[in-house]
Chain A
């Protein structure tokens, strides 16, 4: 054992030396270890970013380790390394403290998949259509365009799902969802129409669960596209809208006008500063000052998909069109297919668009960092460095009061730069048949069906707004996809059912070191994946590395964006 330890140390030292040398070409060293085990060190360098992958030898378990250089300026990741210490222990070393780290780890985009399945599919392919996880339900059939059928996982480590079968259906029509619920052909529906709230509440056959408005609906503008390159134009749009009129006329009860991007129930909300009051004349003056005295013509893109934050996209879009006409802005509405719309907005291809966000985990980083942080997508264009700096500081400040001060400043800068106009925090609800027990409306939109009993029936039928785009949720951002994934795959941690507190999932316990930069996760023993393979620490490292490392052969996904990982942790080998 001593000999092995020495060898391990030697391997690490060699890896560090190789990394420090910064070779511009790829170099591979393989060292045979004694005692029947083998340790491999691979040093890969590309695009000026170095990374080291080490498979450390163990007595019976070859633990993987992937790492990056925190000091490399082209490395946008806050993770130093991810290491399988032993079969049931994973260590994650951060570059700087991240107080929201457990809440991020619990997010369903970071579900664990078997290493072998990941490798076999090159990080894409079947992972998207036929996921394998550890969750209470297993995918049985995805009849695309029609329904998604899951069956109970008989080997689930926790309490078995109550129903044998879980069926996901979808319809973008609120009326159809409501009719199906009334007819009893489905047991639960997401987002009843505005006018259906009262009908569901009043019906003895139905029950309504209201969902807190932990979301934001906003009108996004791309600062890289004319005429929004001029901050005054964006400010004019920010002042022109009568947001109260939109909420009063197009949102269900429980909705609120958005004072800022952060919803009030989520940590990071500060009462001040509030958004601009409506000022049509002021908006016209700003436009004139910016060289648009007669306004301009612009395309407004959206997807005709109902969300809690946007229950009526078409009417809201037309109202914004009518309101902006008052300041001389001619808006042409262009409706896009959901997946294409999200991809285009992420890529910064849209000039003005309607989009929103629902809380994935209850922290400011999920809202502010994801949208305005250093690693955010290009939806608002090039971003704002002054906001980046504040958000970096906020994410690494442990004191909550100090964090709130930082977020207040960040919110003020967002108000000044106006990358978007915050419009509404949409209240929403979930309708169920009255005989469904343990019915929930998750504030994070992740209803957990394994604990619901649809009046003793052996199938629970759920109808949501849209079909999942893909079921490898590491590479999805869509709530409809994430909800389906949450039944099949699991993360190291999870959120309590119907709530936002972080609870253990595949990791039974976890603890940080003193300065909050090293997190150790102790994995649950005896867990198996749906394909029968055993769950261990290497599955965690492989699942994370596929998302983290842009050079990984498994960094494939559906479209390869891995938006959540990029926004929450950042990529390594990210020369761009």
Chain B
């Protein structure tokens, strides 16, 4: 990254009264300290708008979101409808009448898949599965990761030792391999794939939350709360937790991209979304043998996976740059 900017002078942050509402982060080290900003999120918003890559990411994701939300309107066919009765054959190439395709031939702008279904409709509906599955996996992981991280960081001692060693064990496996192992135990399927991906990513969130907590719990405002006799749970919920959110959001945004890829990978291996549900990874797997005879069936599914991952990565990068003031200096 060569174009980091931080429009917010550090001095002005330190002068702010909203000390406890915002944090300054260092994703690499997890060092978190309270900052003084009059509106970090507003600043972050302005920063994102100025970053071309983040705008590209937002645009890519917006298109996907529109496809997902309005799929029944955009898709010309039910994604599972077999169209052999309408005169199509398996793996018919794309036919667009405007581009000169024979008007007698039914229009299927991305062609027909191996089972005689409209490929464009399946691609469109696939965006729903991909986004929902990825978000669900990340939310699940963030939820449990946050709990583990808060408990571990705040209470320390044996709690910290036990929880973190469990997290270390999970981190010691390559994530996809561990996800495959989890799905093998739970059985294939969308829900189990989401669970598997969530489980293997919990340690990342737990560690970043823990490192935030370790730093925040030593802050003066936390000491002040203690001195005032505020209960530990109240401190955890109202002082520490809100200040761990910023690094979590950045990590989660980048995590969605990883989750998209892992859902697609599991489905490609036949362990994720099961047929006939349209999912890009399983669609890619189903037609991989036809790469020479029907390349469009491999190309578009692959393109959509790339589109999705690229969108979240660009947005995540932009978000990180925007809300980490130090990166610009």
Contacts and interface: CB of A to CB of B under 8 A. Distances in A.
B38 to A, nearest CB: 55
Nearest to A249: B90
A322 B292 contact: no
A195 B293 contact: yes
A13 B295 CA distance: 75
Contacts of B116: 249, 319
B283 to A, nearest CB: 11
Given A249-B90, A249-B116, A175 B289 contact: yes
Interface string B279-293: 000000010111111
Contact of B114 (A315, A333, A335): A315
Contacts of B107: none
Interface in B89-138: 89-91, 114-116
Contact of A335 (B82, B84, B270, B291): B270
Contacts of A179: 292
A318 B292 contact: no
A318 B288 contact: no
A321 B275 contact: yes
Contacts of B289: 173-175, 193
B188 interface: yes
B72 interface: no
Nearest to B286: A314
A317 interface: yes
B276 interface: yes
A277 interface: no
B290 A175 contact: yes
A319 B113 CA distance: 12
A195 B290 CA distance: 9
B223 interface: no
Interface in A172-190: 173-175, 178-179
A249 B89 contact: yes
A334 interface: yes
Interface in A189-204: 193, 195-196
A334 B188 CA distance: 8
B258 interface: no
A304 B80 CA distance: 21
A333 B82 CA distance: 17
With most chain B CB atoms within 10 A of its CB, the pick from A315, A321, A333, A335 is: A315
Contacts of B84: 245, 249
B161 interface: no
B275 A317 contact: yes
B280 to A, nearest CB: 16
With most chain A CB atoms within 10 A of its CB, the pick from B116, B288, B289 is: B289
A312 interface: yes
Contact of A322 (B80, B270, B274, B288): B80
Contacts of B275: 314, 317-318, 321, 333
Given A245-B84, A249-B116, A304 B292 contact: no
Contacts of B293: 175, 193, 195-196
A332 interface: yes
B228 to A, nearest CB: 58
A400 to B, nearest CB: 41
A178 B291 CA distance: 12
A250 interface: yes
Instruction: Report the contact-size class of chain A (Cβ under 8 Å from the partner).
Output: 20 to 34
Interface in A315-365: 315, 317-319, 321-322, 332-335
A319 B115 contact: yes
Given A249-B84, A304-B270, A318 B276 contact: yes
Contact of A315 (B80, B89, B286): B286
Interface string A241-260: 00001000110000000000
A174 B289 CA distance: 6
B276 A322 contact: yes
Instruction: Report the contact-size class of chain B (Cβ under 8 Å from the partner).
Output: 20 to 34
Main secondary structure of the interface of A (DSSP, over half): helix
B177 to A, nearest CB: 17
A193 B276 CA distance: 22
A488 B291 CA distance: 36
A69 to B, nearest CB: 47
A322 B84 CA distance: 12
A317 B291 CA distance: 21
A467 B116 CA distance: 31
Contacts of A321: 275-276
B82 A319 contact: yes
B179 to A, nearest CB: 18
A339 B202 CA distance: 35
Contacts of A332: 274
B11 to A, nearest CB: 62
Contacts of A175: 288-293
A314 B276 CA distance: 10
A304 B82 CA distance: 21
Contacts of B286: 314-315
A192 to B, nearest CB: 11
Contacts of A245: 84
A480 B276 CA distance: 30
Contact of B288 (A173, A250, A319): A173
B282 to A, nearest CB: 9
Nearest to B189: A332
Nearest to A242: B84
B90 A250 contact: yes
A416 B84 CA distance: 30
B188 A322 contact: no
A335 B286 CA distance: 13
A437 B66 CA distance: 59
B49 to A, nearest CB: 45
Nearest to A177: B289
A71 to B, nearest CB: 49
Contacts of A304: 270
Nearest to B269: A335
A307 B302 CA distance: 28
Nearest to A176: B289
B116 to A, nearest CB: 7
Interface string B75-88: 00000101010000
Interface string A147-191: 000000000000000000000000001110011000000000000
Given A249-B116, A315-B114, A333-B274, A322 B82 contact: yes
With most chain A CB atoms within 10 A of its CB, the pick from B84, B115, B286 is: B115
Contacts of B292: 175, 178-179
Given A249-B84, A304-B270, A318 B290 contact: no
Contacts of A174: 289
A249 B91 CA distance: 10
B284 to A, nearest CB: 12
A509 B135 CA distance: 72
A193 B293 CA distance: 10
A333 to B, nearest CB: 5
B289 to A, nearest CB: 4
Nearest 4 A-B pairs (CB), nearest first?
A175-B289, A195-B293, A315-B114, A318-B275
Interface of B: 80, 82, 84, 89-91, 114-116, 188, 270, 274-276, 286, 288-293
13 contacts: A175-B289, A175-B290, A193-B289, A193-B293, A195-B290, A249-B84, A249-B116, A312-B114, A315-B90, A317-B275, A318-B276, A319-B82, A334-B188
Given A249-B90, A322-B80, 18 more contacts: A173-B288, A175-B288, A175-B293, A193-B293, A195-B293, A196-B293, A249-B116, A250-B90, A312-B114, A314-B286, A315-B90, A315-B114, A315-B115, A317-B275, A318-B115, A318-B275, A322-B82, A334-B274
Interface of A: 173-175, 178-179, 193, 195-196, 245, 249-250, 304, 312, 314-315, 317-319, 321-322, 332-335
